[in-house]
Amino acid sequence: MTDYYNYIKALHLIFVVTWFAGLFYIPRLFIYHIEADQKPSPEREILSHQLKLMTKRLWFIITWPSAVLATFFAIWLLFLYPAWLQQPWMHIKLAFVLLLIAYHLKNHQIFKQLQRDEVKYTSKFMRIWNEGATLILFAVVFLVILKGTFNWIFGVVGIIVLGVLLMLGIRLYKRIREKNPEA
């Protein structure tokens, strides 16, 4: 079975990439949907219909299958190498994976609300929410690559600094957008 390790690992990574692609793009579509809800009729209905279709396709054709397959191949890898479960870095990685799954499920809840034309969040909130997957991705990649050599204090500080930089970027983009609505 270990002969297939690299194939399983490659498939795991491919589906992690496509899962994150979906998680990066779905909140962006939510933002467009929320902003379309504030447009006058018939533009609102036309945009809403198109955005519902786009999010539905992204969510059920790319994001959900990728999440399931990435998880399947991850479990297979852990089955092949159960000793990884004894490693401290793996415990922290799995905690971030659980956070990622919670983020995914919350996106599913928002998806269902918008499919019913229930707008419960602002586009500003969604712009901040959109960065959740980015923070989780940074944490997981650094954990996996650096493993035991990773200094946890620098890691935590790095994630906080990244979060602050992302928030500053969002504020800067908001100012640019206010000056130039087409940006």
pLDDT digit string (tens) for the chain, length 183 residues: 568 999 999 999 999 999 999 999 999 999 999 999 999 999 999 999 999 999 999 999 999 999 999 999 999 999 999 999 998 888 888 999 999 999 999 999 999 999 999 999 999 899 989 988 998 998 888 888 887 665 656 666 777 777 788 778 877 877 887 788 776
Number of domains in the chain: 1
* Nearest-angstrom CA–CA distance, 177 and 181: 5
- Taking 3-state DSSP, the helix, strand and coil percentages for the chain, each rounded to the nearest 5, stand at 85, 0, 15
Q: What is the DSSP string of 37-86?
A: TTSPTTHHHHHHHHHHHHHHHIIIIIIHHHHHHHHHHHHHHHHH-GGGGG
Give binding residues as ranges. Answer: 12, 93
pTM: predicted TM-score of the whole model, two decimal places: 0.84
Give binding residues for heme as ranges. Answer: 12, 93
Q: Which domain holds residue 87?
A: 2-179
